[in-house]
C-alpha cells in the first residue's frame, strides 16, 4: 500500500524556534502534526571544521502535495543558512491516522 503522506525532518537551533515553526506549519495546514525532540546532539562539518551543537529535531507529518510549501515555510522561518530538510515516503500505517491527517489538512 503506497500512501500520499510524507514525513519531513528538520532541525532548529532551540525549542523556541522549533515551537514557532511547528505552530506555523500546523496553523497553515501544511502539517497535521509536528513532533519536537529537544536537546539532540549534532556533530557536523561546517565551513571546513567539525562543529557541535545542541538542537531540536522536528518530525513533520504532511501530504506529498504540501511538500513544496513546507520546504518554503521552513526556509523562510529558519535561522540557519542551510536548514536540514529530508523527506521520507510513508509506505503504510494506521488507516485511521491517515484519515485524520486527510481531514486536518483539507
> Which domains can be identified in the chain, with CATH numbers?
5-105 (3.30.70.120)
Class of residue 33 by CB neighbours under 10 A (exposed 0-12, middle 13-18, buried 19+)? middle
Whether 78 has a pLDDT exceeding 60, the answer reads yes
What pLDDT digit, counting tens, does each position of 3-45 carry? 799 999 999 999 999 999 999 999 999 999 999 999 999 999 9
Q: How crowded is residue 102: how many other Cβ atoms within 10 Å of its Cβ?
A: 13
**Which DSSP state fits 29?**
T
Q: What's the mean per-residue pLDDT of the chain?
A: 96
Question: Would you state the cell numbers that stand for residue 101, as one nine-digit string?
Answer: 491527517
pLDDT reading at 48 higher than 60: yes
Instruction: Inform me whether the pLDDT recorded for 63 exceeds 80.
Output: yes
Cell of 40: 539532540
- Mean per-residue pLDDT, 96-101: 96
Amino acid at each position: 500500500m503506497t500512501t500520499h503522506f510524507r514525513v519531513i525532518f528538520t532541525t532548529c537551533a532551540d525549542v523556541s524556534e522549533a515551537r514557532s515553526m511547528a505552530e506555523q506549519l500546523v496553523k497553515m495546514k501544511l502539517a497535521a502534526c509536528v513532533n519536537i525532540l529537544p536537546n539532540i546532539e549534532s556533530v557536523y562539518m561546517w565551513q571546513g571544521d567539525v562543529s557541535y551543537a545542541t538542537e531540536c529535531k522536528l518530525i513533520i507529518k504532511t501530504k506529498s502535495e504540501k511538500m513544496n510549501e513546507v520546504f518554503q515555510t521552513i526556509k523562510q522561518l529558519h535561522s540557519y543558512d542551510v536548514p536540514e530538510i529530508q523527506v521520507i515516503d510513508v509506505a503504510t500505517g494506521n488507516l485511521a491516522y491517515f484519515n485524520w491527517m486527510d481531514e486536518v489538512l483539507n
